[in-house]
Structures are given as structure tokens and as C-alpha cells.
Amino acid sequence: MMDTGSVARGIAHKRPQESVGYCVYCNKLVRRTAQAACPNDEHPGEGVQGIMWLSEDEPVPVLPKFHWGAFFMPPIWGAAHGVVIAGLVVLPLWLFLDNNIQSAVYRVGAATPFWTRMGVYFLTVFCTLASIALMTWFGRTAWGLSWRREYHDGTSSRTFENFMRRERIWYWICIVLFILLLGVALYYWQAVLPGEFLEPLT
């Protein structure tokens, strides 16, 4: 949760129109009005978070709509950006999903009771959809979360260009780590797991 008090203190000594904030309702950067609110009158002022100073003749920077790095590796991206909840939620869900897929592929058979099979299949589908939904949410909100963390009170000296350069580095780090993780997982599933003894579900 962004400290709105720090935002108010940050703009107290300057004209609000010279500041840019992230509107959580518009899901983009906006220039504050004279009342330190979003230009969209329907959005309350407390929804505009973070401060980056710009003269009134400078264009408002534009954040990308989707962060593929945060989508593919929420635990890594979250840990690097102070969003620890990403790992605490997504990682256990991934492990639970992996366990359910193993059961669905290697342990469910003809001798498995009908309702046990249905339960395993249901949990597999549910965990898959829940994982995709959470990953998509992090992908859609990651740029705004990282921007607000950097410019939370208007004291950051980092330029927007440097901010974007740093985020693109994390963007590719997360994608490369995801590819490596996927490769290890596929190797394990194809070369290791079939040789292990997995007791059938009965």
C-alpha cells in the first residue's frame, strides 16, 4: 500500500501540475491537476500514487502495458522489487500444481476410483487457471508497482530512461530464468520421473 502522506508532503512545496503520478484506476501515468488529482474527474485523488517531477511542457512518460518478466517469474521479480507476496502466493501454487500434474499423468489409472480421478483432474485444471490468472495480474500491474516503488515520494534522482533500462534488465533476467526452469522441469519429467516408483492412486 502506497503511503499517500508521503505523496502529499512531496507536492506540498511545488505545483501539482508539475508532477506525474500513477493512477491505479487508469493503470497508467498521469499528470496531476491543480487539485493534485487524476485528470479523470471520476477517479479520487488518493488513487494517484508516486511522484515524478516534470515541467508542464514535457510529455508524460508512458509505461508498457504488460511486463512479461513479471508474468513468467513472479517470485523472482517480486523478490527483487519488494513484492514478496508474489513468491509467497505463486511458488506454493506452482509446487501444488506440479504435484497434481504428476498424479494426473503417472498415478491415476483404471483402478483409481472415479471421484478420485475427477478430484485430481479438477485440482489440476483449477491450479493451472489460478496460476495463469495470478501471473497475468502480476504482468499487468508490474510496471506500475515498480514505478511507484522507485518514485514513491518524489525524491528519486533516477531518470525515467534509467528506470526503464533497469526494468528491461529484470525483464530479460526473468524470461531467461523461466526458460531455464522450464528446461529443467521438462528434463525431469521426461528422463527422471518415469523411472521413479509412484504408487498408483486407488
Examine residue 35 and state whether it is found in any structural domain, yes or no.
yes
pLDDT number for residue 159: 92
Residues 6+ apart with CB under 8 A from 172: 69
Residue 104 shares a structural domain with residue 139: yes
Residue 123 shares a structural domain with residue 164: yes
Please give the distance of CA 158 from its chain centroid, rounded to a whole number: 22
Question: Per the structure, how many domains does the chain have?
Answer: 2
Residue 138 shares a structural domain with residue 92: yes
Residue 147 shares a structural domain with residue 99: yes
Residue 38 shares a structural domain with residue 78: no
Q: Mind listing the pLDDT tens digit of every residue in the chain (202 residues)?
A: 445 555 555 555 577 888 899 999 999 999 998 888 898 877 888 889 999 998 878 899 999 999 999 999 999 999 999 888 888 999 999 999 988 888 887 778 778 888 888 998 999 999 999 999 999 999 999 999 999 999 988 888 899 999 999 999 999 999 999 999 999 988 887 777 766 655 666 6
- Domain span holding position 187: 68-195
Residue 84 shares a structural domain with residue 173: yes
Please give the distance of CA 181 from its chain centroid, rounded to a whole number: 18
Examine residue 127 and state whether it is found in any structural domain, yes or no.
yes
Residue 179 shares a structural domain with residue 96: yes
Residue 88 shares a structural domain with residue 140: yes
Torsion, Cα 35 39 40 44, to 10 degrees, reads -30
Rounded distance between C-alpha atoms, residue 4 and residue 81, angstroms: 19
Buried b (16+ CB within 10 A) or exposed e, 105-125: ebebeeebeeeebebbeebbe
Rounded distance between C-alpha atoms, residue 127 and residue 180, angstroms: 22
Residues 6+ apart with CB under 8 A from 143: 63, 64, 65, 66, 67, 167
| Residue type at position 124 | T
- Using a 10 angstrom Cβ sphere, with 0-12 exposed, 13-18 middle and 19 or more buried, the burial of residue 161 is exposed
Examine residue 114 and state whether it is found in any structural domain, yes or no.
yes
pLDDT number for residue 98: 87
Examine residue 58 and state whether it is found in any structural domain, yes or no.
no
Residue 102 shares a structural domain with residue 166: yes
pLDDT number for residue 141: 93
3-state secondary structure of 101: helix
Examine residue 61 and state whether it is found in any structural domain, yes or no.
no
Residue 47 shares a structural domain with residue 83: no
pLDDT number for residue 106: 78
Residue 43 shares a structural domain with residue 101: no
pTM, 2 dp: 0.81
Residue 47 shares a structural domain with residue 91: no
Examine residue 201 and state whether it is found in any structural domain, yes or no.
no
